[in-house]
Amino acid sequence: MWRGTVRASIGVEPLAGRTGQPAGRRPLIMGVVNATPDSFSDGGKFLDPEAAATEARRHVADGAAVVDIGGESTRPGSLSVPMEEELSRVIPVFERLCGLDAVTSIDTSKSAIAARAIELGAGMVNDVTALRGDSDMAGICAAAGVDVCLMHMSERPREMQRNARYEDVVSEVKAFLEERLSFAVAEGIAERRILLDPGIGFGKTLEHNVALIARLDEIAALGRPVLVGVSRKSFLGAITGREVTERLPATVAACVQAFERGASVLRVHDVAAARDALRVAHAICESNGRRP
């Protein structure tokens, strides 16, 4: 298991290299830590840095390989948080997590925040704008040699649900991710460090989200590990009629389906439940001689 700061991680197998390949690799879990007042499912619970750090440690004890710390909600309709405010939410959390027995990931689209988190040991940058939000982001990630998650989102959270229109959502998301992958590599980010994410719930209808999971193998065919975040999202509420606090069974079902179609990293709030379900799914796939 990787330990310590990002400098120590250079030359050590990155998270992206531990996912899905070669055959039989276990799915990895990314535990969510939202140091925000307004995240859609846990806003306000982890605004206190000590509470956030405790949640991150709990995720690791429950089996997360990576913890994703964010200081800005990206729920539909949300607004961008000023730099100083976002820094003050996430940096005290990274300060408390030095030496954690897992990769720490910074969920941000601001390069200055990514840079400070990397100094404090972040081994991964999770950028929901796929390097389009800040022109310095790609260079900072390339120079640091961190893992980078490139996620599909057609527009900013503020307006993304208004224009959720696609001819063929899977082909369009795939083409977008292919272009962003080429861009990232051209900017100097090592391909082996890159993960791709279809952006479930980001400017997509229920049908779009379901199609993206059903045909996730087409995204996985791009040859990079696929990260999927379905946890507690509203499309699960639309299917089940459940409130956000009641969506754990639906989340677990969607994680297993995504894993079986090629997801390597599952981003969840409830790590222990997802871990058990994915272990079972993995064991069944393995015994069948099938590699998802």
The footprint of ligand HH2 on residues 22-51 (CB under 6 A) is 32, 34, 36, 39-41
Residue 26: how many CB atoms within 10 A of its CB? 18
Q: Among this protein's residues, is 267 annotated catalytic?
A: yes
Residue 192: how many CB atoms within 10 A of its CB? 12
For β-strands 263-268 and 66-70, DSSP reports them as unpaired
| Minimal distance, residue 282 CB to ligand HH2, in Å | 21
Helices (H), the chain: 6-9, 49-61, 83-96, 111-119, 137-144, 169-186, 206-214, 216-220, 234-240, 248-260, 271-287
Residue 229 contacts ligand HH2 per CB under 6 A: yes
The footprint of ligand HH2 on residues 139-178 (CB under 6 A) is 149, 151
Query: 166: Cβ–Cβ under 8 A, 6 or more apart, which residues?
Result: 172, 208
The type of residue at 31 is G
Select from 25, 58, 75, 156 the one that contacts ligand HH2 (CB under 6 A): 75
| Minimal distance, residue 16 CB to ligand HH2, in Å | 13
Residue 131 contacts ligand HH2 per CB under 6 A: no
Span near ligand HH2 by CB under 6 A; candidates 47-55, 68-76, 165-173, 177-185 = 68-76
Helix (H, G, I), strand (E, B) or coil at 28: strand
| Minimal distance, residue 252 CB to ligand HH2, in Å | 16
Interface residue list for ligand HH2 (CB under 6 A): 32, 34, 36, 39-41, 70, 73-75, 107, 126, 128, 149, 151, 197, 199-200, 227, 229, 267
